[in-house]
Amino acid sequence: MVPLEHLAAKLKHNGINENILIWIRSFISNRSQQVQVEGVHSNPSPVASGVLKAQF
């Protein structure tokens, strides 16, 4: 797993626009997950690592 600030520093060093970096931080930070089985939802749990994926 790559720490977010390490990733942001590398991207900034390689010329990525500050607004894009802000968006990336926002997209990656404070994520949660939830499971739905037969219409019943679990409580949200924080996500510490993993790969983000679209909802279906």
Residue ranges of domains in the chain: 1-29
pLDDT at 28: 81
pLDDT at 55: 65
Please spell the DSSP secondary structure of 16-46, one letter per residue: --HHHHHHHHHHHSS-EE--EETTEEPPPEE
Place of tokens 């996500």: 47
Q: Tell whether the model's pLDDT for residue 52 goes beyond 70.
A: no
How many other C-beta atoms can be found within 10 angstroms of the C-beta atom of residue 12?
Answer: 13
pLDDT at 37: 95
DSSP state of 15: T
Q: Tell whether the model's pLDDT for residue 53 goes beyond 70.
A: no
pLDDT at 17: 95
Q: Which residues pair with 41 in a beta bridge?
A: 36
pLDDT tens-digit series, residues 9-44: 999 999 999 999 999 888 888 888 899 999 999 999
**Cα–Cα distance measured from residue 32 to residue 19, given in angstroms and rounded to the nearest whole number:** 23
